[in-house]
Amino acid sequence: MAIKEENSVVGIEYELTEAGKDEIIDSNKGGQPLEFVMGKGQIIPGLEKGLVGMKEGDTASILVKAEDAYGLRDENAIQKLPREQFEGIELQKGMSLYGQGQNGETIQVTVVDFDDESVTVDFNHPLAGKDLMFNVKVVSERDATEQEAQTGQVNSGGCEGGSCGCSH
């Protein structure tokens, strides 16, 4: 059975590098597969598109352009904030900090520079503007249950017929 654009539950092993470079940015090889429901926006769009039509056991190198990954860099996302907002934090250039966005979501910023009065932070995702290469292996693929299709949560309905991969 091939992966569909929507309502396939997919488990992948992956290794992520910036396109044209060898340094591994992220990997789950040898660990738990990354499981998600296709069509729910749980992984970057370019990777999701690249998986469509693959089958369990297939491997592929999927090039994802920046605009289909974490977007292009936005220079307006670099802001200077008052130093008081960072009280008690031992700042270092290049460090990542996490905070809350206007809608309660977690946001990550990178410290670009700082002095006694202000801190310059970059709200762009660290991989924004970069083309990415995913070396993937499809380790599992199946149709989503009705509940998984509705909620986007893998195995949200518990083990139905013992075929969900739960350990008993």
Domains of the chain: 8-70+129-146 (3.10.50.40), 75-122 (2.40.10.330)
Q: How far apart are the first and last CA of the chain?
A: 26
Given pLDDT bands bounded at 50, 70 and 90, which one contains residue 101? Answer: confident
Tens digits of residue pLDDT in 55-87: 999 999 999 999 999 999 999 999 999 999 999
- Predicted pLDDT of residue 1: 83
| Distant-in-sequence, close-in-space partners of 116: CB < 8 Å, separation ≥ 6 | 83
Q: Which residues pair with 81 in a beta bridge?
A: 119
Instruction: Report the pLDDT value the prediction gives residue 45, as an integer from 0 to 100.
Output: 95
Q: Sorting pLDDT into bands at 50, 70 and 90, what band is 111? A: very high
Q: Is 81 left (phi over 0), alpha (psi -120 to 50) or beta?
A: beta
What is the structure's pLDDT at 13? 98
Residue % of the chain over a pLDDT of 90: 83
> Which sign does the torsion angle of CA 108, 113, 117, 123 carry?
negative
